A and B are shown apart, each in its own frame.
Chain A
Amino acid sequence: MEGSAKQKVPGGKLLSIKVKYGKKVEKIEILGDFFLYPEEALSEIEKSLTGIDTNLAENEITIMVQSVVDKEGAELVGITPEAIASTLRSAIKNGMESNSA
């Protein structure tokens, strides 16, 4: 299945997530007009979320993203690990809804 979701992070930037998944996340693309230093850390965040269980809870996704941010010494500006987690959950939900429609 494929799903996507967008959100304007309050006080921040636009975040868009496109995801391909079955029981696990097969591919994820995190897009938007946010800032991230160093920029290469985004690929690491995407890698860390590839292969996770599709049902993984939002707070657990947040913890995973935060751990990559910490490990990479990265700084997110305009989005947050929480926003990535909630947008990913919305993308998965949207994919399921459009698939069952």
Chain B
Amino acid sequence: MEWRVIALEEHSACLNMGIDEAILEGIRDGTSPPTMRFYKWKPGAVSIGRFQSMRDEVNIERCRALGIDCVRRITGGGAVYHDQKGEITYSMIAPESLLPKGIRESYREICGWIIEGLSTIGIKAEFAPINDILVNGKKISGNAQTRRNGVVLQHGTILYDLDIGTMFGVLNISKEKISDKMIKSVEERVTRVLDYSDVTQEKLYSALLSGFVKGKDYTVGTLTGTETERANELSKIYGSDKWNFSR
């Protein structure tokens, strides 16, 4: 089966989530091809996992003051600060038949594409179940997956740079933890591409793409008109308090 690749682009948090779900619906309906898309968040955003509490996890006032979007994902997992310049996000949306049946095995498979891509720029990464990728024991990529109607959606981030100060400002971490000790602790647990390679973000994107498409037939494409229309509709739901503050 031929995959569609949608090249690196920038959208708001709500539209990014709407696009993912619109493609998922399209594959369910047999009108969209299996798709890999790469994107950034403009403006920067905090996304929380499906089962998290927005008020517990996010400093909403701080986000508003900084013009940072807040959105609840369709997928589980944790809260993530998506710096506009500090990371590349991907989504992989495909019928279950194209991936290993088990959830844990499919995480391993798709994370393997990221690991392959990073290897082409000299970064040796390893899969850390359930859903992380580490370099030298530090997290460089977090990933989250959902499955519905026979379709798998997995999205994740690859850290290129990291603005720890802003991250602490927008995620709710107790004041006691925002100490030098805690920042040091985060630096000890999290890493980024720039710590290991001086590649540009464009080069990182090329590297990731090569890992994702290796051994697959693909064409570079765009969203269909129907997908775009549906993504815009869904983005309104992702922008609603009813969805974002449902927990």
Instruction: Name A residues whose Cβ lies closer than 8 Å to a Cβ of B.
Output: 12-14, 16, 29-39, 42, 75, 77-78
Given contacts A34-B76, A77-B130, 10 further A-B contacts (CB under 8 A): A14-B78, A29-B247, A32-B51, A33-B76, A33-B77, A35-B75, A35-B130, A37-B146, A39-B146, A42-B51
In this complex, what residue of B is CB-closest to A15?
A: B51
B56 contacts A by Cβ under 8 Å: yes
Interface contact A33-B51, CB-CB below 8 Å: yes
Give Cα distance in the complex from A82 to B146, angstroms: 23
In the complex, which of the residues A16, A35, A38 contacts B77, with contact meaning CB atoms closer than 8 Å? A35
Of the listed residues A14, A33, A75, the one surrounded by the most CB atoms of chain B closer than 10 A to its CB is A33
Q: Is the CB of B148 within 8 A of A38?
A: yes
The answer to whether A37 and B51 touch (CB under 8 A), given A31-B247, A77-B130, is no
Those of B80-138 within 8 Å (CB) of chain A: 103-104, 130-131
Report the bound CA distance from A28 to B56 in whole Å: 16
In contact, B77 and A31 (Cβ under 8 angstroms): no
* Secondary structure type dominating chain B contacts: loop
**In this assembly, does B145 line the interface, its C-beta being within 8 Å of a C-beta of chain A?**
yes
Taking a contact as CB atoms under 8 Å apart, the answer to whether B56 and A35 are in contact is no
A36 CB contact (under 8 Å) in B51, B53, B56: B51
Partner of B130, one of A12, A14, A30, A38: A12
A79-B51 Cα distance, complex, nearest whole Å: 12
CB of B103 within 8 A of CB of A30, answer no
How many residues belonging to B are interface residues under a CB distance threshold of 8 Å?
22
- Complexed CA–CA distance, A12 and B78 (Å): 12
A37 adjacent to B247 (CB under 8 Å): no
| Bound-state Cα–Cα, A30 to B50, Å | 11
User: 11 A-B pairs, CB-CB below 8 angstroms?
Assistant: A13-B130, A33-B51, A33-B79, A34-B51, A34-B76, A35-B103, A35-B130, A38-B147, A39-B50, A39-B51, A78-B130
Q: How distant is the Cα of A77 from the Cα of B75 in the complex, in angstroms? A: 12
| Residues of chain B within 8 A of A16, CB atoms compared | 56
| Nearest-CB residue, chain A, relative to B147 | A37
CB <8 Å contact, B51 and A30? yes
Q: Is B208 an interface residue (CB 8 A)?
A: no
- The reply to whether A77 and B78 form a contact with Cβ atoms under 8 Å apart is no
Judged by a CB distance under 8 angstroms, whether B52 is at the interface is: yes
Whether A37 lies near B50 (C-beta < 8 A) is no
Find out whether the CB atom of B52 lies under 8 angstroms from the CB atom of A35.
no
Pair B51/A77 contact, Cβ less than 8 Å? no
Tell me the complex Cα distance, A35–B147, Å. Answer: 11
Q: Report Cα–Cα, A54/B130, bound state, in Å.
A: 33
A40 to chain B, nearest CB (A): 9
Residue of B nearest to A33 (CB): B78
Cα separation A48 to B52 with both chains bound (whole Å): 20
